[in-house]
């Protein structure tokens, strides 16, 4: 199984592109600290959340509220998903990413202000 990722941050928005190369590839269960949209750009997946399963077929926008543990499983090869959400909480400006942020700076910012909730 192989899911590759590519992450980019611009201003207050993080986009994480996930490519599920094979049928059965999984994006493991996780919850975000912000409401977010997943763009299913290509393919067909099952989303599991709150004890339920739902099949989604591209093109599709999937909205997930913050704090909801969810996972995806590719139902066919070559699925492409893009997770899109805010990266700041509005309390300070320390978590705003500048337009010219480098990949290393983006990863450091995400470590300082986690986007995934830990249990």
* H helical segments located in 1-119: 103-112
Would you say residue 20 has pLDDT above 90? yes
Predicted TM-score (pTM) of the model is: 0.75
pLDDT at 4 (0 to 100): 87
Nearest to 79 by CA among 6, 24, 28, 16: 24
* Mean of pLDDT values over 27-31: 88
pLDDT score at 115: 63
Mean pLDDT over the full length of the chain? 84
Distance from C-alpha of 23 to C-alpha of 46, rounded to nearest angstrom: 11
36, two tokens: 């977010």
**Contact present, 83 and 16 (Cβ < 8 Å):** yes
- pLDDT single digits (tens) 58-112: 999 999 988 899 999 999 999 999 998 777 665 665 656 666 777 788 778 777 7
């Amino acid at each position: 199984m192989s899911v590759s990722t590519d992450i980019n941050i611009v201003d207050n928005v993080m986009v994480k592109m996930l490519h599920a190369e094979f049928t059965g590839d999984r994006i493991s269960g996780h919850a975000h600290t912000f409401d977010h949209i997943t763009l299913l750009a290509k393919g067909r997946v099952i989303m599991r959340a709150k004890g339920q399963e739902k099949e989604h077929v591209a093109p599709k926008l999937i909205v997930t509220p913050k704090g909801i543990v969810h996972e995806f499983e590719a139902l066919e090869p070559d699925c492409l998903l893009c997770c899109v959400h805010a990266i700041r909480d509005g309390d300070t400006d320390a978590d705003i990413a500048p337009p010219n942020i480098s990949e290393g700076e983006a990863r450091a910012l995400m470590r300082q202000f986690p986007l995934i909730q830990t249990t």
